[in-house]
Structure 1
Amino acid sequence: MKHALILAAGLGERMRPLTEHTPKPLLEVNGKPLIVHHIEKLAAADVRYIVVNTSHLADRFPEALGDGSRWGVRLRYSYEGPVPLETGGGMLKALPLLGPEPFIVVSADIWSDIDYAALPREPRGLAHLVMVPNPDFHPHGDFALAAGQLHEGDGPAGAERLTFGNVGVYRREIVEGEPPGRFKLLPMYRRAIASGSLTGERHDGFWRNVGTPAQLDELRHALTAA
């Protein structure tokens, strides 16, 4: 895969006051912005074209990241306006910049050791999601995983409910044809599950959501202690 989308358009409301003047993806961990963690990992996986969707304090991103040449990639920005378009609307708006082939999508506000190079280049269905064990703040998970297929509810016998780790590989068809505007991806996931076209894998390595100042502090502590 040569293309990726980094979701960075959120308002960062739960991270205030840290996000009053700095977008959440530009908050620093280990001396560099959160989003740079993903850019470096994507570049190492031979991704060469990265789209960053933006809204809150959008001008700060090109100021901090430039055109991506320092990492050997080309960065382009998809500005959504002052109100973010949610995951689905943001992906749809970014499609013209992503090319025709499947692409990686990652949320800027996670930190993980997921190997982007090991993700499938061609998902069997519309998308392939990386699932993680349910964190304390989301104990019931999102979907059930069984034999590489994702299911609603508890799924078939032997399935395990897991949490979406905000990393996946998508075909553009998952949102193509939707009306432009603000919408989440969840209805698209459910349609894909119903047609048997949403696959997944379990990741048992390091993964953290970075949504609040406390979670940011916990990540910094975990990385220092490692």
Structure 2
Amino acid sequence: MKAMILAAGKGERLRPLTLHTPKPLVRAAGVPLIEYHLRNLAAAGFRQLVINHAWLGEQIENHLGDGARFGLEIAYSAEGEPLETGGGIFRALPLLGDEPFLVVNGDIWTDYDFSSLRRPLTDLAHLVLVDNPAHHAGGDFRLYDSQVEDAIAGQPSLTYSGIAVLHPRLFAGCRDSAFKLAPLLRDAMREGLVSGEHFRGRWVDVGTHERLADVERLLASEV
């Protein structure tokens, strides 16, 4: 199974850190955020990786190179302007092939074991969901008997972690343009073609300076 890291965002809420450094290379405990993913993916048995980029993307390529020092083979999908999540994945499909692939947001930190996703996918997508963080209390979806459905007001919900396994067929009929992933997932949910799981481990959406500090506190607690 191949993997893809989404790394095309500008990280505007992390300014001034991201004025001259792409968000995936912002450091937590002295290590660029994206390197935590690379190490965990390699440890989980992944070998082929695609990374998309836009803002200051050449810095990502220069820093990571071909991925050999991480035990990976990295291919890059460059975007002149960010294509959003769905468009970025669609642009990279020729590099990902015809089989299901893992996708992970480059701006999260987690101790999730990616090896658990290296299994056959019977649906169009499998989502990893987490408890709703304070900054996203309304959640995204609900999990019912391992199937993911759209959230319903007043009922318990969970937040999409930014980790999923997707089948290329999810993008059937799409065109090379900027578009979001969520509408495609919701269409598949209505057909009962999205499975999911509830991850209760450590996970941080590193979107602000405060949450970057949360990651550093978690890492410090491991020492």
| TM-score > 0.5, shorter chain as reference | yes
**Secondary structure at the counterpart of residue 192 of structure 1:** helix
Aligned partner of 1:129 in structure 2 is 127
Which of 189, 202, 211 is equivalent to 1:215? 211
Correspondences of 1:98-109 after superposition (within 5 Å): 98-109=96-107
> Does the CA-based 8 Å contact 1:53-1:80 persist in structure 2?
yes
**Secondary structure at the counterpart of residue 125 of structure 1:** coil
In structure 2, C-alpha distance between the alignment counterparts of 1:173 and 1:202, rounded to whole Å: 24
Identity fraction in percent:
46
Offset at residue 120 of structure 1 (A): 4.9
**Secondary structure at the counterpart of residue 134 of structure 2:** coil
> Does the CA-based 8 Å contact 1:51-1:94 persist in structure 2?
yes
Which of 135, 139, 142 is equivalent to 1:141? 139
Change (3 A) 1:185 1:116: same
Offset at residue 122 of structure 1 (A): 2.1
**Secondary structure at the counterpart of residue 135 of structure 2:** coil
> Does the CA-based 8 Å contact 2:139-2:151 persist in structure 1?
no
> Does the CA-based 8 Å contact 1:131-1:162 persist in structure 2?
yes
Decide which moves more: 171-180 or 199-208: 171-180
Aligned partner of 2:198 in structure 1 is 202
Aligned partner of 2:115 in structure 1 is 117
- For 2:43, give the aligned amino acid: A
**Secondary structure at the counterpart of residue 59 of structure 1:** helix
> Does the CA-based 8 Å contact 1:146-1:160 persist in structure 2?
no
Correspondences of 1:165-184 after superposition (within 5 Å): 165-184=161-180
In structure 1, C-alpha distance between the alignment counterparts of 2:73 and 2:118, rounded to whole Å: 22
In structure 1, C-alpha distance between the alignment counterparts of 2:168 and 2:120, rounded to whole Å: 12
- For 1:56, give the aligned amino acid: W
Which of 182, 188, 191 is equivalent to 1:186? 182
Are residues 1:45 and 2:41 paired?
no
In structure 2, C-alpha distance between the alignment counterparts of 1:225 and 1:44, rounded to whole Å: 21
Aligned partner of 1:74 in structure 2 is 73
Cα deviation code 1:76-126 (max 9, x no counterpart): 110011x20000000000000012211100001111111100115222210
- For 2:74, give the aligned amino acid: L
Aligned partner of 2:22 in structure 1 is 23
In structure 1, C-alpha distance between the alignment counterparts of 2:138 and 2:118, rounded to whole Å: 27
Cα deviation code 1:34-93 (max 9, x no counterpart): 101111111111111100000000110111101000011101110011x20000000000
In structure 2, C-alpha distance between the alignment counterparts of 1:97 and 1:120, rounded to whole Å: 18
In structure 2, C-alpha distance between the alignment counterparts of 1:45 and 1:51, rounded to whole Å: 16
In structure 1, C-alpha distance between the alignment counterparts of 2:169 and 2:144, rounded to whole Å: 24
In structure 1, C-alpha distance between the alignment counterparts of 2:156 and 2:165, rounded to whole Å: 21
Runs of at least 4 residues off by over 3 Å: none
User: For structure 1, which runs of at least 5 residues remain unmatched after alignment?
Assistant: none
TM-score (norm 1): 0.94
